[in-house]
């Protein structure tokens, strides 16, 4: 059995595409991210690991209270239940592949001002 998904439709927000593996029997899900300068998600966490592959641009990733800068070719991984966020440092676009180690995405958004990260 195989599946070919010719186009992923864009969800609302700055992401360019979202894929959830469950309908296809795949054990992974992902976002193809295309963010402008300053854009990125609010602090959140997942019950599984998340891996980012930076395709172009520069981003800052916040995990466990530390900021890590990453650029093209860099890979950043956070473990399950690890509060995290990222944002585009600019000046150009930030393109990422955000791999979720699960067939369906589960996100717990953390409340602003709780000491975890920033927007």
Give the CATH number of the domain where residue 94 resides: 2.60.120.10
Q: Return phi, psi of residue 95, to 5°.
A: -115, 125
For the chain, the first-to-last Cα distance in angstroms comes to 42
- Give the pTM: 0.84
């854009």: which residue's tokens? 39
Q: Domain of residue 95: give its range.
A: 16-104
Strand partners of residue 61: 68, 86
Strand partners of residue 45: 108
């150009």: which residue's tokens? 92
Q: Is 113 inside a domain boundary?
A: no
- Section 63-81 average pLDDT: 96
Q: Is 27 inside a domain boundary?
A: yes
pLDDT above 70 covers a percentage of the chain that reads 84
According to the per-residue pLDDT averaged within each range, which of 4-13, 14-23, 36-45 is highest? 36-45
Helix (H) or strand (E) holding 70: strand 66-70
pLDDT tens profile 5-16: 766 655 555 567
Report the SS3 class of residue 23.
helix
């Amino acid at each position: 059995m195989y599946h070919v998904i010719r186009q992923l439709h864009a969800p609302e927000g700055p992401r360019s595409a979202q894929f959830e593996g469950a309908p296809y029997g795949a054990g992974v899900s992902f976002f193809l991210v295309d963010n402008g300068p300053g854009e990125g998600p609010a602090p959140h966490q997942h019950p599984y690991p998340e891996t980012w592959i930076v395709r172009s641009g520069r981003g800052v990733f916040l995990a466990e209270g530390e900021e890590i800068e990453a650029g093209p070719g860099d890979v950043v991984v956070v473990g399950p239940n690890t509060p995290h966020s990222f944002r585009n440092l600019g000046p150009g676009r930030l393109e990422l592949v955000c791999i979720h180690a699960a067939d369906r995405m589960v996100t717990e958004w953390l409340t602003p001002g709780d000491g975890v990260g920033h927007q």
